Amino acid sequence: MKSSEPFIGMHKTELDTPALLIDLDKFEANIQTMAAYFTTVNAMLRPHMKTHKTPIISHKQIAAGAIGVTCAKLGEAEAAIHAGIRDVLIANQIVGKQKIARLINLAKHSEIMVAVDSAENVQAISDAASAKGANVRMLVEVNVGMDRCGVEPGKPALELANVIHRCPNVSFEGLMGYEGHTVSRRDRTERTAAARAAIQLLIDAKHYLEKHDVAVPIMSGGGTGTFNITGSIPEMTEVQAGSYVFLDSTYGNVEGVGEHFDCSLSVLATVVSRPSADRIIVDTGLKVLAKEFGIPQPIGVKGVEMTGLSEEHGKLQVSDENVSLNPGDKLEILPSHCCTTVNLHDRYYGIRNGIVESVWEIAARGKAQ
């Protein structure tokens, strides 16, 4: 069923399962809390859309003060731009003829910006943009220690910035570095030291470019786990945090992060079997709940632990035989990784005071290209 009408006004426990729920009060508070933080520092917030993949949520983040959106994929950028958002960063490399053609088309309807880490890619985008009379803004991605994409700081970053400056129809806007290897370290002191060391590499790169007369207007990085570490560094101009809107159990346990936000996302499950006093089976398996960050747990039910997730089932171990969950009963599961969990669902049910207030299609769900 595509239409949202039948659901609006229902109590959440009347929804069939599995269903992806947003607690709207907590979700809105998360957006406000993050927005308020970014009024106190130099950096601005450019929230990552890969978490929620839904333009109306990006619009809420922008209404609260964010400067635009960060995307992982062209399909997300298309969803955002078609929904009227113009300031979009694709924080990954866009490679190949078909994708570059889509990027150029988007550049005609937005101020799109893209991460690059090779001269060949800059040249290919410049050629395509020139042919269409478009302009594409570029950030040079610098490897700040995660050892994924990105050029090394120093000379390689300078050389790539100079390639961009020499190429027509593309513009060098600054540097990007993601300290992803540090964002989920639970200990605050350790995480702060690691993130600062990583971002220092980006700052060193900026100074190196400036010494060679290349201005670096934009400095982009950061995630939910480092929003008030990377976000407080004066050289940074943009932070890409995304998960804070939902805050899964993994980030909830990160010291210095979990205190600021509330977990607003859950997956509603139904008990389908209670074969014995100590075992409960629910209808939420790996096709609706990601487990790469650990097995998700039920919310607010004592004496019950989810011990296994198979394709279609969750298995709960009951340590208190008085737990009265039986087939047909519903419970909410807290995701351990919100981003990959959202990508398994087609829509959100927005809940306030227990009632379905809104149904949002996840426009960029599965848009992996």
> What residues make contact with its own copies under the rule CB under 8 A?
16-19, 50, 72-73, 92-93, 95-96, 98-99, 117-118, 120-121, 143, 147-152, 180, 270-275, 279, 281, 283, 286-288, 290-292, 310-313, 315, 327-328, 339-340, 343-346, 365-366, 368-369
Q: Cβ(355)–Cβ(23) under 8 Å?
A: no
Q: Nearest approach, Cβ of 144 to its own copies (angstroms)?
A: 12
Query: 277: how many CB neighbours lie within 10 A of its CB?
Result: 11
Nearest CA-CA partner of 175 in 196, 155, 161: 161
State in angstroms the smallest separation of the CB of 279 from its own copies. Answer: 7
**Angle 177-183-189 from CA coordinates, rounded to 5°:** 115
Closer to its own copies at the Cβ: 44 or 223? 223
Q: What is the dihedral of CA 195, 295, 56, 28, to 10 degrees?
A: -70
- Residue 218, C-beta contacts closer than 8 angstroms, at least 6 positions apart: 139, 173, 174, 175, 176, 237, 238
User: Cβ of residue 213: shortest distance to its own copies, in angstroms?
Assistant: 26
> Using an 8 Å Cβ cutoff, are 349 and 319 in contact?
no
Q: Which is nearer to its own copies, 188 or 313 (CB)?
A: 313
* The dihedral formed by the CA atoms of 247, 174, 42 and 200, expressed in degrees to the nearest 10: 80
Collect all residues with Cβ–Cβ distance below 8 Å to 311 and sequence separation of at least 6.
285, 286, 287
216 vs 280, beta carbon nearer its own copies: 280
Write down the least CB distance from residue 285 to its own copies, Å. 8
Q: Which of 109, 175, 98 is nearest to 136 (CA)?
A: 109
* Residue among 38 and 223 whose Cβ is closer to its own copies: 223
CB of 63 to its own copies, least distance (A): 26
Q: Which is nearer to its own copies, 109 or 287 (CB)?
A: 287
| DSSP conformational letter for 214 | -
Q: How far is the CB of 118 from its own copies (least distance, A)?
A: 6
Residue 221 identity? G
Shortest Å, Cβ 234 to its own copies: 28
**With b meaning 16 or more CB within 10 Å and e meaning fewer, what string describes 90-121?**
bbbbbeeeebbebbbbbbeebbbbbbbbebeb
Buried-state track 41-52, b at ≥16 Cβ within 10 A, e below 16: bebbbbbbbbbb
Give the nearer residue to its own copies in terms of CB position, either 8 or 272: 272
Query: At closest approach, how far in Å is the CB of 298 from its own copies?
Result: 17
At residue 62, what is the residue type? I
Closer to its own copies by CB, 25 or 152: give it: 152
SS3 291: coil
Nearest to 289, CA basis, from 15, 59, 20, 28: 20
Report the nearest approach of its own copies to the CB of residue 360 (Å): 15
